[in-house]
Structure 1
Amino acid sequence: MTADPIATGSSPAEPGAANRPYREVKDSHGRVYRVGETDRDILGHSRKLMVYLPWIAMMAISVSEYAYGSAEDTLSTAHGWTQSNTFWILSVWVFFQAGIAFPAGWLRERGILTARRAMFTGSAMCLVGFLALSHFHNVMLAILGFGVVGGLGSGLIYATSINMVGKWFPERRGAKTGFVNGGFAYGALPFIFIFNYAFDTGNYNEVLDLIGVYVLIVVAVCAFFFKDPPRNWWPADIDPLSYSGNVKSAHSLAKNPPAVRQFTPKEAIRTGMLPLMWITMVATAGVSIFGISFQVDFAKEAGFGPLVAASSMGVMAVINGVGRAIIGWLSDLWGRKTSLVFVIVVLGLAQFGVIWAGDIKNEWLFLFFAFLSGFGGGAFYPMFAALTPDYFGENYNATNYGLVYSGKLVSGLFGGGLGSMVVAAWGYNGAYALAGGVSMVAAAIALMLRQPGRNSRDALTAQPQPAS
């Protein structure tokens, strides 16, 4: 492909940063790239900060989902709630956390909601959520406070953080997105220990209030530095047409070529690929949520002691996060679609492995398959987050990824609610077998994904070039 200059200009720099001219070039597919400006020209510092700050924010909000289960018993006793009450509080949280991604993206791409404002708003809403969980005995008020308001706040922070790193690393987004996404799981680990060993009916108000303040402060400080790159921006150290310059980026781009153009949400839907991604997200996230919801109960049902049951959940939470970073890095080497299919197959096989380990009463084997389930049950999230801009571009990624991620709305229903009905009807073995089958169907659907507008020959012609 040859460069086709279409515009030139000068970037408005941050205070203390250089004001460097840029130019816009067009490739053979018609996609526009804005080249010439470095990250320091725009931000005044390295774009690496746009990885670390979203990562810190994601770790801060992870307590809401991944540590909630460890606090349920104390909350039930303190407020007089039933197990069903606490289940619905989290289910509503998951619904609104996933549901806000698309409308938030729509508002961001129209300039109504900036990245900073989204983060500031989300941090305040998270504080309200924890205060509600702490002080409202009425379960409906707790659902409204933590489930609705807290869920919306966490969703704003999650969607903004994931979108931010994707925009700043269009040439090597897999590893960066996986790293940031991983914080949303293992960031909860300290709070899991707090809720298990230092959380009771005598101090639950103070603990929850302090956690809410902690989330507010951490996210708000990170938000202060959030800034989107200009539309169509491309890093100055690698040619977007020949992929020459940075060797690591060149290899990643050869495996994951950029979208042929910037697709609006309607255009992305019409390609047929976004609906396929949504269906795959629904099925895979449902299996993941099922595993998180029922693994401890199944371990107890199988006769394993409480230490094994708790350890299996701890293993799942840590590997769930670490696995996201690992598969993100691998996807830059293997290709995004190959990596996505791999993790979905691993997730499916792990469900059958859990059945086997439970049947033969082997604790170590059970922990091993809990490890695999945790890996597969988290690693697909950054793959969708990276695959969406790979297929449809960065300019409308906030809404496009919001549509894909909205599949988690449905997943929360059949992974938790319908999952409990299947367990009641078929037992744990039947439910886990069904989950494994659903995962394999999802992997088959993922095999059908194709980058819109680009045939396989296009990707093969884009080979890494030596550094200049």
Structure 2
Amino acid sequence: MTADPYAPNSSAASSSSAPSDAAHRPYREVTDARGRVYRIGESDRDILGHSRKLMVYLPWLTMMAISVFEYAYGSAEDTLSHAHGWTQSNTFWILSVWVFFQAGIAFPAGWLREKGVLTARGAMYIGSGMCLVGFLALSHLSNVWLAILGFGVVGGVGAGLVYATCINMVGKWFPERRGARTGFVNGGFAYGSLPFIFIFNYGFDTANYHRVLDLIGCYVLIVVVGCAFFFKDPPKNWWPADIDPLTYGDTGKGADALAKNPPAVKQYTPKEAIRTGMLPLMWIALVMTAGVSIFGISFQVDYAKEVGFGPLVAASSMGVMAVINGIGRGVVGWMSDKWGRKSTLVMVIVVLGLAQFGVIWAGDVKSEGLFLFFAFLSGFGGGAFYPLFAALTPDYFGENYNASNYGLVYSGKLISGLFGGGLGSMVVAAWGYDGAYALAGVTSMIAAAIALLLRQPGRTRGGASTPQPVA
């Protein structure tokens, strides 16, 4: 029988604080049978001055504020084109550059945070200012290259700093049950855009676009700065004071949560995480899944018009996708705490793939009802995988280097933005929408097969863990 890795024993579960130091510290460090160190004794209120629940609600509000960048941009494209004299290709590349830099900043920002060069609060302040610059550029710069620089590069980096900081904050403060909370926060990045989708569709034109974009930029700045004032990372190895990490998995909810999603066997640095082979596998799976998701966001409205559906159905399908995209992130986070992160991830990717074939079917039979149903499924699958990867990364590699490790995984969206949009448009031109959607469905199924290969480093298939040296 495999020994319980959470049970204390004389050789592996011990205090690593020297006796002379322990009397002067409000915490102590204990080591479990796997060699992982936990810092216990300090409550969230001792460190923050308030409940750690605030580290869920404030990142959620912030994510809703910055969601206008990606999910509402498509609704503003026509007005921007007329106001600035841009082509459809111009507006497409502005967003593509934004996606590239929003995803690309995640790893360097995480590395700077973990080196102590950049605090969570500092990252948020810098990001908020860059977000404002992005909207001012979109509002006042008609030169497409300057707009790409201002909105795409500066705005993308700013939004990426805010996004990565919010996601990592939740993972660090809830090491014992992070799935539902990560999904809740991540969901705000999609459905938070809904008011702006309506504003851009019904109250945005060439007569008021300066004022609307300037006000949105100020709104994002105020929300992000206001929430960032309370942001603070926990100490390395921190574990909730009211939960014993050595016995947490013995009974009740703790046993169920840890049986499905056991903690990482050690704190992996980015280099160590890459060497396990699991981080590169996660990166590939995210590249493929995010590419399918971005393809759906980019072409769903155009496809609806192509097959003859009315403008109301086309617009409604995008609204449905945005709302379900966000709500689905919260739902699967909760599901992953119950069913296991990997199983839930595979299910989500399969649903996304099936939805692509369903869209083809709905178009072939000219059924608006079926089209909206599969838009629902596509929205669910196309957003729900993000919080699962965000929670799976610290599950596999620990919390101490999560900003860098998840930054590496999330950087896959760099590639996805290119082939989901740019390559997608080439496939549509060459094979038509049916061929492009079929390719997207097949790509998603391959990603699901890759996700099946994921396993927690240092742990056998039966769930036992191999001993790890104490750092």
Q: Please report the TM-score for the alignment, with normalisation by the length of structure 2.
A: 0.94
Contact 1:20 1:37 in 2 (8 A): no
Aligned counterpart in structure 1 of residue 372 of structure 2, from 361, 367, 370: 367
Correspondence 1:329 to 2:339: no
Partner residue in 1 for 2:281: 276
CA–CA distance in structure 1, aligned partners of residues 392 and 369 of structure 2: 35
CA–CA distance in structure 2, aligned partners of residues 284 and 10 of structure 1: 52
SS state of the match for residue 462, structure 2? helix
CA–CA distance in structure 2, aligned partners of residues 261 and 306 of structure 1: 53
Partner residue in 2 for 1:225: 230
Judged with a 3 Å threshold, the aligned counterparts in structure 2 of structure 1 residues 90 and 381 are, in CA distance, closer, same or farther, namely same
Partner AA of 1:87 in structure 2: F
SS state of the match for residue 452, structure 1? coil
Partner AA of 1:224 in structure 2: F
SS state of the match for residue 229, structure 1? coil
Aligned length: 454
Q: Deviations over 1:418-453 (max 9, x none)?
A: 000000000000000000000000000000000000
CA–CA distance in structure 2, aligned partners of residues 189 and 395 of structure 1: 34
CA–CA distance in structure 1, aligned partners of residues 123 and 192 of structure 2: 21
SS state of the match for residue 6, structure 1? coil
CA–CA distance in structure 2, aligned partners of residues 239 and 214 of structure 1: 42
Q: Deviations over 1:441-467 (max 9, x none)?
A: 00000000000001133369xxxxxxx
Contact 1:98 1:405 in 2 (8 A): yes
CA–CA distance in structure 2, aligned partners of residues 219 and 57 of structure 1: 5
Aligned counterpart in structure 2 of residue 65 of structure 1, from 54, 70, 76: 70
**Unaligned regions of 5+ residues in structure 2, if any?**
1-6, 466-471
Correspondence 1:154-169 to 2 at 5 A: 154-169=159-174
Contact 2:249 2:258 in 1 (8 A): no
Contact 1:166 1:386 in 2 (8 A): yes
Partner residue in 1 for 2:312: 307
SS state of the match for residue 71, structure 1? helix
Q: Deviations over 1:124-168 (max 9, x none)?
A: 000000000000010000000000000000000000000000000
Aligned counterpart in structure 2 of residue 289 of structure 1, from 286, 294, 299: 294
**Unaligned regions of 5+ residues in structure 1, if any?**
12-18, 461-468
Contact 1:20 1:36 in 2 (8 A): no
Correspondence 1:375-386 to 2 at 5 A: 375-386=380-391
Identity rate of aligned residues, in percent?
Answer: 82
Partner residue in 2 for 1:252: 257
CA–CA distance in structure 2, aligned partners of residues 234 and 40 of structure 1: 13
Contact 2:249 2:256 in 1 (8 A): no
CA–CA distance in structure 1, aligned partners of residues 207 and 20 of structure 2: 60
Partner residue in 2 for 1:421: 426
Q: Deviations over 1:360-382 (max 9, x none)?
A: 01110110000000000000000
Runs of 4+ in 1 over 6 A off after TM superposition: 8-11
Shift in Å, 1:23: 1.1
SS state of the match for residue 87, structure 1? helix
Partner residue in 2 for 1:464: none
Partner AA of 2:231 in structure 1: F
Shift in Å, 1:249: 3.8
CA–CA distance in structure 1, aligned partners of residues 182 and 256 of structure 2: 17
Partner residue in 2 for 1:265: 270
Correspondence 1:110 to 2:115: yes
Contact 1:9 1:21 in 2 (8 A): no
CA–CA distance in structure 2, aligned partners of residues 382 and 68 of structure 1: 22
Partner residue in 2 for 1:6: 16
Contact 2:180 2:336 in 1 (8 A): yes
Judged with a 3 Å threshold, the aligned counterparts in structure 2 of structure 1 residues 225 and 233 are, in CA distance, closer, same or farther, namely same
Aligned counterpart in structure 1 of residue 99 of structure 2, from 94, 100, 118: 94
Judged with a 3 Å threshold, the aligned counterparts in structure 2 of structure 1 residues 78 and 45 are, in CA distance, closer, same or farther, namely same
Judged with a 3 Å threshold, the aligned counterparts in structure 2 of structure 1 residues 85 and 238 are, in CA distance, closer, same or farther, namely same
Shift in Å, 1:6: 1.1
Partner residue in 1 for 2:469: none
Aligned counterpart in structure 2 of residue 33 of structure 1, from 34, 38, 50: 38
Q: Deviations over 1:189-231 (max 9, x none)?
A: 0000110111110000000000000000000000000000010
Partner AA of 2:42 in structure 1: E
SS state of the match for residue 291, structure 1? helix
Shift in Å, 1:20: 7.5
Partner AA of 1:338 in structure 2: S
Root mean square deviation, CA, Å: 1.6
CA–CA distance in structure 2, aligned partners of residues 149 and 410 of structure 1: 19
SS state of the match for residue 24, structure 1? strand
